[in-house]
């Protein structure tokens, strides 16, 4: 019997929308370079606004990052070794207010506080490893968005990462990324050699597509985009000569040859631009403008080595005073993060980013200390360090770097992860693949606590009433599974064991792409095709998602776009 590939109505609609988006993108990417920018709608790349992304690969435990400590169901009965406990002396219900910032004076450990950090919305708390998020949060420059996911959640790393990056839940055919489509819509793909850059092992799906040659670097010091090792005396010359030679080689007018020529031209210009940026370890001189955490010296903003890891070197190589874990993977991550920040600050690139691995914590996850805690420390210091870097060394900073092009108000930092983890701890003292998780948004243009009268920067982690975020129309339901009346608590809202989503990740990225980067609504419907199906997807204004969009027999209310940008 022949195999029939049966499409559901939902699949047909989704693929039709993607096909329409693809035709529009193809039309834009095939026009001459000088005309592409003129034909593009919106202000992407013209308004000076930029995006820095970090993909937390492996599935960060959102319930262990943004902790619902006031939910009666959250306790040692469901998390014996992964529990983030309350401080008995802290009034977590006090609201409104700011986040606590437990300091570590003198020679005590930087992370000597091991309890959940009060966040000031009366319900949620931070993992103690995220303590350096408190100054960012209290400045109003941070939004923490809980219960983020998508319809028909996959618990496969590979599938779920693909859906987050291509913007098409349940579509594994497309390997074309949301941010790639953003660049294509901007018209910059044909005119700018560095419109978008990733610093990681391979070009992520976020930036992949057939109509533009976006740049990926494994190490900006080696110019791995060419595979030509760099050296102080010959690297640039070898690469440049090779490219110039290729540029002058005649070629027949066949499919994609003109595009390849454009790639060569872009690579040549990329090398020229990068040669003026100091990516070296010796060039990592970026320090805080205050003596962080009660120490006697300012800390380095990018801990790319142990000597630059918090107060480690200042205190006789004391491991008590580091700001991230002492590992090569942490140092490598911050080297990549630094490169992404430098690229945004010193070039016309609109998008730059990297990834951080290690979040697949099935075994020995830990609580206030351990593997998960170390990963949270990296997240906390990354956002703290980026804010200070752009505030000090950015375009309008207190000590701007020569040629600086990006201020803290110009950039939004987005942290993504493919799913959250199970509400109940497993028998291996870890957590397994689950559903909704946490997104982090930071930047001078983020509307957090205190901005425009906002009492909280937390979305999706409050039962409603005083202390709730004004755009959070779907209240957190406290309590366990199978409560009286057949209502499950939010932490058990899917299959009695998974955190149920109230925010679609596409709504968060869509708001950033339109209201920060400058896309029009029409462009956004092509970049994220779900926006063109608002009556069922509800990405813009919210609503109840039902079949065929949602899993069979399930109805899920979502809030639409959260109000998180100034």
pLDDT tens for 317-358 read 999 999 999 999 999 999 999 999 999 999 999 999 999 999
Higher per-residue pLDDT: 276 or 481 = 481
Mean pLDDT of 238-257: 60
Q: What strands lie across the sheet with 117-118, from one edge to the other? A: 66-67, 125-126, 117-118
pLDDT of amino acid 105: 83
* Three-state secondary-structure class, residue 382: helix
User: d(Cα 389, Cα 136) in Å, to the nearest integer?
Assistant: 13
pLDDT of amino acid 554: 80
Q: Residue 15 above 90 pLDDT?
A: no
pLDDT of amino acid 293: 77
Q: Work out the mean pLDDT of the chain and round it to a whole number.
A: 89
**Residue 275 pLDDT level (bands cut at 50, 70, 90):** confident
pTM, to two decimals? 0.90
pLDDT of amino acid 493: 95
pLDDT of amino acid 228: 42
User: d(Cα 184, Cα 259) in Å, to the nearest integer?
Assistant: 14
**Residue 248 pLDDT level (bands cut at 50, 70, 90):** low
Q: Residue 448 above 80 pLDDT?
A: yes
pLDDT of amino acid 9: 38
pLDDT of amino acid 225: 44
Q: Residue 28 above 50 pLDDT?
A: no
- Quote the longest CA-to-CA distance of the chain: 76
Show the beta-strand stretches assigned E in 100-195: 117-118, 125-126, 142-149
Assess contact for 95 and 65: CB atoms under 8 A: no
**Residue 260 pLDDT level (bands cut at 50, 70, 90):** low
CB half-sphere exposure, 292, CA atoms < 13 A: 27
pLDDT of amino acid 465: 94
pLDDT tens for 92-147 read 999 899 999 999 888 899 999 999 999 999 999 999 999 999 999 999 999 999 99
Query: Which spans in 276-347 are helix H?
Result: 328-346
Block residue for tokens 């925010």? 503
High-pLDDT (> 70) share of the chain, %? 85
Assess contact for 5 and 12: CB atoms under 8 A: no
Assess contact for 380 and 438: CB atoms under 8 A: no
User: d(Cα 169, Cα 309) in Å, to the nearest integer?
Assistant: 39
Q: Residue 519 above 90 pLDDT?
A: yes
Q: What is the DSSP string of 506-566?
A: HHHHHHIIIIII---HHHHHHHSGGGGGHHHH-TTT-EEE-TTTSSTT--EEE--S---B-
Nearest CA to 26 out of 212, 168, 271, 196 is that of 212
Show the beta-strand stretches assigned E in 87-212: 117-118, 125-126, 142-149, 196-199
**Residue 191 pLDDT level (bands cut at 50, 70, 90):** confident
Assess contact for 152 and 137: CB atoms under 8 A: no
**Residue 255 pLDDT level (bands cut at 50, 70, 90):** low
> What are the tokens at 411?
């950039």
pLDDT tens for 419-438 read 999 999 999 999 999 999 99
pLDDT tens for 286-310 read 999 998 877 778 999 999 999 999 9
Which residues fall within 8 angstroms of residue 89, CB to CB, at 6 or more apart?
none
pLDDT of amino acid 475: 98
Which residues fall within 8 angstroms of residue 535, CB to CB, at 6 or more apart?
none
User: d(Cα 279, Cα 72) in Å, to the nearest integer?
Assistant: 49
């Amino acid at each position: 019997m022949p195999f029939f590939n049966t499409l559901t109505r939902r699949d047909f609609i989704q693929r039709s929308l993607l096909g329409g988006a693809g035709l529009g993108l193809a039309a834009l990417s095939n026009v001459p370079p000088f005309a592409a920018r003129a034909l593009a709608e919106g202000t992407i790349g013209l308004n000076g606004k930029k995006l820095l992304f970090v993909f937390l690969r492996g599935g960060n435990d959102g319930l262990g990052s943004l902790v619902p400590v006031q939910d009666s169901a959250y306790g040692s009965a469901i998390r014996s070794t992964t529990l983030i406990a309350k401080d008995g002396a802290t009034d977590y219900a006090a609201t409104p207010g700011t986040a606590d910032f437990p300091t570590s004076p003198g020679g005590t450990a930087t992370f000597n506080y091991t309890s959940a950090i009060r966040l000031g919305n009366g319900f949620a708390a931070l993992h103690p490893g995220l303590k350096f998020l408190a100054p960012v949060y209290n400045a109003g420059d941070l939004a923490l968005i809980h219960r983020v996911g998508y319809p028909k959640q996959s618990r496969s790393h590979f599938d779920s990462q693909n859906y987050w990056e291509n913007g098409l839940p349940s579509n594994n055919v497309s390997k074309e990324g949301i941010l790639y489509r953003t660049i294509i819509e901007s018209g910059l793909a044909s005119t700018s050699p560095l419109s978008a850059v990733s610093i990681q092992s391979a070009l992520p799906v976020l930036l992949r597509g057939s109509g533009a040659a976006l740049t990926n670097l494994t190490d900006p010091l080696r110019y791995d985009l060419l595979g030509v090792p760099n050296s102080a005396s010959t690297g640039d010359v070898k690469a440049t000569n090779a490219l110039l030679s290729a540029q002058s080689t005649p070629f027949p007018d066949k499919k994609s040859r003109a595009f390849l020529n454009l790639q060569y031209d872009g690579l040549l210009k990329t090398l020229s631009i990068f040669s003026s940026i100091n990516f070296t370890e010796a060039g990592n001189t970026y320090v805080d403008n205050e003596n962080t955490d009660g120490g006697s010296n300012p800390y380095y903003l990018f801990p790319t080595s142990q000597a630059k890891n918090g107060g480690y070197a200042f205190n006789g190589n004391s491991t008590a005073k580091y700001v991230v874990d002492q590992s090569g993977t942490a140092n490598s991550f911050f080297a990549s993060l630094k490169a992404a920040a430098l690229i945004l600050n010193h070039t016309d690139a609109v998008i730059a980013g990297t990834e951080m691995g290690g979040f697949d914590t099935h075994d020995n996850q830990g609580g206030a200390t351990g593997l998960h805690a170390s990963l949270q420390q990296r997240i906390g210091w990354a956002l703290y360090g980026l804010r200070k870097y752009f505030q000090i060394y950015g375009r309008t900073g207190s000590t701007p770097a020569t040629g600086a092009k990006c201020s803290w108000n110009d950039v939004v930092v987005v942290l993504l992860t493919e799913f959250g983890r199970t509400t109940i701890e497993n028998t291996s003292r870890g957590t397994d693949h689950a559903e909704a998780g946490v997104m982090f948004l930071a930047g001078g243009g983020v509307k957090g606590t205190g901005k425009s009268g906002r009492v909280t920067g937390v979305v999706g982690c409050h039962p409603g009433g005083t202390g709730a975020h004004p755009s959070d129309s779907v209240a957190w339901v406290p309590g366990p599974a199978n409560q009286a009346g057949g209502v499950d608590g939010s932490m058990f809202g899917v299959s009695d064991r998974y955190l149920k989503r109230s925010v679609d990740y596409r709504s968060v990225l869509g708001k950033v792409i339109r209201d920060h980067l400058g896309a029009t609504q029409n462009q956004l419907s092509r970049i994220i095709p779900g926006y063109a199906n608002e009556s069922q997807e509800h990405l813009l204004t919210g609503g109840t998602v039902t079949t065929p969009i949602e899993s069979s027999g399930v109805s899920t209310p979502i809030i639409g776009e959260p109000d998180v940008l100034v």
